[in-house]
Chains A and B, each alone.
Chain A
């Protein structure tokens, strides 16, 4: 079982944190970014300050990881925000801000780490999208756009870097129990639970398990895929 240098953006809480802790427990060297540079439960994790909307911040953060752990071999691009609102009430800024953090931010980080992956002729990029990006979600025109955008972008990374042993895949979580989900109303959460064929919300570790597999040596023939982990919500 190999021991890889992993970077999880937005790994301080929620899905990112579950992924980081699971990969660390599996024996990888894991760094996480957070905007504050701090994380509540960072046992065994290297915490690095980064704001993915700032190219210099991204560069400094990745450089720090490279210095302390080595070139990033597995990138889990998970950092993301929401600024929900109905379309007619959503400002240009609210749209742009979410796309900049979620989509452009992912581009910045992935581009920055691709150099090291190219040198090592091995890499795993896993982009955390959302079922919102697949099917749309009222109140999330910006979020859905940013998450859908990750798919085209990830597939381009997959094609441009395929000759270097680098794969790029997308995971689409459904409704997962995290702070982000708690921002929805009780009714919205209940509606999700009703709509999900499996009949419940998902747990962050259920996303982490799939990411662990995609980051592994065994997943070397999987690239450009989109994997919904949503209790069957996006079926059909």
Chain B
């Protein structure tokens, strides 16, 4: 699990230009200054990194790092 979270963190750091320290499970994307385009970019990066597919509807209500991480790992 922690290996996946590290990979997830790396994507978030790359795409959102935040410090690794900010990428904690209950951080909201809002608190990370991520706008909707950032989220789209993050999802694209995660899809590539984990080789998964995320449908538009599944992003509904995904507001925190934990929620996004859970969504991605649920597809592995």
Min C-beta distance of B33 to chain A, whole Å:
12
* Residues in A101-124 with C-beta less than 8 Å from chain B: 115, 118-119
Min C-beta distance of A111 to chain B, whole Å:
11
Instruction: Kindly state whether residue A164 has any CB partner on chain B within 8 Å.
Output: yes
Min C-beta distance of B71 to chain A, whole Å:
20
* Residues in B16-73 with C-beta less than 8 Å from chain A: 35, 37, 41, 44
Instruction: Kindly state whether residue A163 has any CB partner on chain B within 8 Å.
Output: yes
Q: How far is the CA of A119 from the CA of B37 in the complex (A)?
A: 12
Min C-beta distance of A102 to chain B, whole Å:
25
Residue contact A160 to B37, C-beta cutoff 8 Å: yes
Q: How far is the CA of A118 from the CA of B36 in the complex (A)?
A: 13
Min C-beta distance of B1 to chain A, whole Å:
28
Q: How far is the CA of A161 from the CA of B41 in the complex (A)?
A: 11
Q: How far is the CA of A28 from the CA of B44 in the complex (A)?
A: 28
Residue of B nearest to A161 (CB): B37
Min C-beta distance of B37 to chain A, whole Å:
7
**Cβ-defined partner of B44 (8 Å) among A115, A160, A161, A163:** A115
Residue contact A164 to B44, C-beta cutoff 8 Å: no
A-B contact pairs, 9 of them (CB 8 A): A115-B44, A118-B37, A118-B41, A119-B41, A160-B37, A161-B37, A163-B35, A163-B37, A164-B37
A contacts, CB < 8 Å to B: 115, 118-119, 160-161, 163-164
Q: A118-B41, A160-B37 are in contact. List 5 more A-B contacts (CB 8 A).
A: A118-B37, A161-B37, A163-B35, A163-B37, A164-B37
